Amino acid sequence: MIKRSSKNYIDNLLSQNPHWKILDIGCGYTAHNNATVICDVQDLSSFYKDKKFIQLNDNNLPFLDKEFDFVIASHVIEHVKDVNFFVKELERVASKGYIELPTILEDNLVFENKNDHLWHMEFNDDENKLIISKKIQFLEPILTVSSAKNFLKFFRQSLVLELIWEISIEFKIIKKDFEIGQKISRLSLFRKFFSSCRFLLLLISTRIAFAPAELKILEN
């Protein structure tokens, strides 16, 4: 079973279960505070001196079946070539976990995502199923990773999928039967933005210009 959740809910859940053995995989330098084991393709052992760190050398996770109570995979699946195998490995090493993914919008907005991400992620709320398709770059990126993090403070639900699963991760890989024509360029986005701004300013200035006359009519 997989369903929508939130990072706040996960933080509270893990804090309330300090006895759990928790794996954070592919987290880079941002491992969850409650993680007891950290696994990454980079050697980050010197960074995580106070935690158990294991470097990942191949696709197989170097852990026993159901070794963990909980596994975190935050912004990982969109990078993985063999999604089927990776999902099975998550299910194998833990009985439940948290998955965080970029939405299609976030995936298109960020420069670093353009070449690093292989898949687009959506969630079907009717079927409670993760929908995966090959990435399509709909528009030219306009944000860096650091600036996107600032946007998350205000638009998190539009930019991030937050999912919790237990026992199994229901998903399907689909093929989208359409081709995108010309990408939406940054220049066209800015032109449309400033065009809208000019129209709004014109509307406001016109309103201000006629305001005294309207007041005079009302007084009469």
pLDDT(66) > 70 = yes
pLDDT confidence of residue 37: 98
Q: What is the pLDDT averaged over residues 134-145?
A: 86
pTM of structure: 0.80
Confidence grade of residue 193 (pLDDT, cut at 50, 70, 90):
very low
Q: What is the pLDDT averaged over residues 71-99?
A: 97
Name residues whose C-beta falls within 8 Å of residue 38's C-beta, 6 or more positions apart in sequence.
23, 24, 25, 27, 31, 44, 48, 51, 52, 53, 54
pLDDT confidence of residue 192: 47
Q: Of 106, 83, 91, 89, which Cα lies nearest the Cα of 161?
A: 106
pLDDT(218) > 50 = no
pLDDT digits (tens, 9 = 90+) for 28-40: 999 999 999 999 9
Burial of 51 (0-12, 13-18, 19+ CB in 10 A): middle
pLDDT digits (tens, 9 = 90+) for 120-130: 999 999 999 99
